[in-house]
Amino acid sequence: MTQPRHFLEIDDLSRDELFAVLDRAETYKDAQENGEDHEDLEGQTLGMIFQKPSTRTRVSFETGMTQLGGHAVFLGEDDIQLGHGEPLKDTSRTLSRYVDAVMARVFKHDNIEVLAEYASVPIVNGLTDDAHPCQTLADLLTIREHNGGFEDVSVAWVGDGNNVAQSFAIGAALAGIDLTVATPAGYEVDDAVSERARELGGEPATTADPVEAVDGADVIYTDVWISMGQEDERDVRMDDFEGFQVNEELLSNAPDASVMHCLPAHRGEEVTDAVVESDRSIVFDQAENRLHAQKALLSWLLE
C-alpha cells in the first residue's frame, strides 16, 4: 500500500510544493469570492482530534471540508479514548479505517508523530507545542497577497520564540523571506529550528532589541506571551517581555509595515488594541486565509 503524505512540519513540503499549495489556495479563494463551487473532496471525511481548544482551527477545517464537498467529525478528549487508556497507535490505526484524513491539535509533538507512524491516511498537524505549520501556510499566503510575492520582503517577529514562531521561521526560509526574530533572553526559537532554516538557505537573524528588529520591516508579526499550559508562568513572563509590546511607538520605527498576529490576541499585552484595529493590521485577512490554505492542503494531500 502506498504510504500517505503527512503534514507535521512546514518543511514536509518542498519549496515547489509549498508554492503549489499557495497557488491552489488562491484559486480556492477566488472561486469562493466568485460564488463558484469547488467540491474536490466530495464524499470524503476528515477526523479532527482536539486536545487543545480552538476557534480558528476547528471552524476553518470544518468549514473547509464542507466547502470542498466533504465532511468533518469533531473528536474532543471526551469523545474518544485518546489519552484515556488506548494507545495512540491503536487510535491512529482505527481512525484510518473510518476517515480519509486526520487533523490533530495536541500538546506533545511526539503524539502527532506516533499518529503519523501508524496511520494509513494523511495526518495533519493542527498544532503541537513545537509547531503550527497550518498557521504558517496562512501566514505565507497573507504575506504574498499583501506584498505581491516574497521577493525582497522582510519580516520582524517580536515576542516569544514559540511554536508559531518556529514554524514561521522555517516557512520564511522556504519562501525566501528575510526574517529577524526579536525575543528576550531565554525565549529564542530552538537551535534545531534555526539550523533547519539555515539548511533551507534562510536562517533568521536574532536580536533582543525589538526596535532593531522592526527597522525597515515590511511585516511585524507577534503572538501571545503566555500560551495554553503556561498560565502558571504568567508573572515571570510579563516581566520578561517588558518592552516587547507591538504598539504605536514600536510601529513608528517601521512606518510602512503591516502587522500580523495569529490570534487570539491578548490586547494590552503583546499588542495594543489600537494596533489591532488600525489600518496597518492584516490579522483578519490572516485569519481568513487559514480556511483557504487548509482547503488547498487537504485537497493536495488527498488528490
**Residues of the binding site for L-ornithine:** 163, 223, 227-228
105 is catalytic: yes
Known binding-site positions? 54-57, 81, 105, 132-135, 163, 223, 227-228, 262-263, 290
Residue from 51, 67, 135, 294 carrying the catalytic annotation: 135
CB contact set of 248 (below 8 Å; sequence gap of 6+): 272, 274, 275
Residue whose C-alpha is closest to residue 54's, from 96, 122, 104, 14: 104
Whether residue 135 lies in the annotated active site: yes
User: Is 245 a residue of the active site?
Assistant: no
Residue stretches of the annotated binding site for carbamoyl phosphate: 54-57, 81, 105, 132-135, 262-263, 290
Interhelix angle 56-67/283-302, nearest 10 degrees: 50
Best CA proximity match to 21, nearest among 103, 126, 138, 127: 138
Distance CA 168, CA 44 (A): 30
Q: Which of 24, 129, 130, 262 is catalytic?
A: 262
Q: Is 261 known to be catalytic?
A: no
Q: How distant is the alpha carbon of residue 48 from its chain centre?
A: 16
Q: How far is the C-alpha of 295 from the C-alpha of 303, rounded, in Å?
A: 12
Q: Exactly one of 58, 144, 290, 292 is catalytic; name it.
A: 290
Q: How far apart are the first and last CA of the chain?
A: 16
Give yes or no: 290 in active site. Answer: yes
Q: What is the DSSP letter of 233?
A: G
**Cell 508559531, located at residue:** 164
- Catalytic residue (one of 6, 24, 58, 132): 132
DSSP one-letter code for 50: E
**The three three-digit cell numbers of residue 101, written as one number:** 484524513
d(CA 195, CA 201): 10
What does the DSSP 8-state code read for residue 8?
S
SS3 content of the chain, % helix, strand, coil (to 5): 45, 15, 40
Torsional class of 149: left (φ above 0), alpha (ψ -120 to 50), beta (otherwise): left
How many Å apart are CA 15 and CA 127, to the nearest integer? 21
Which residue in the list 105, 144, 237, 292 is annotated as catalytic? 105
Query: Which of 6, 223, 237, 286 is flagged as catalytic?
Result: 223
Active site residues: 105, 132, 135, 223, 262, 290
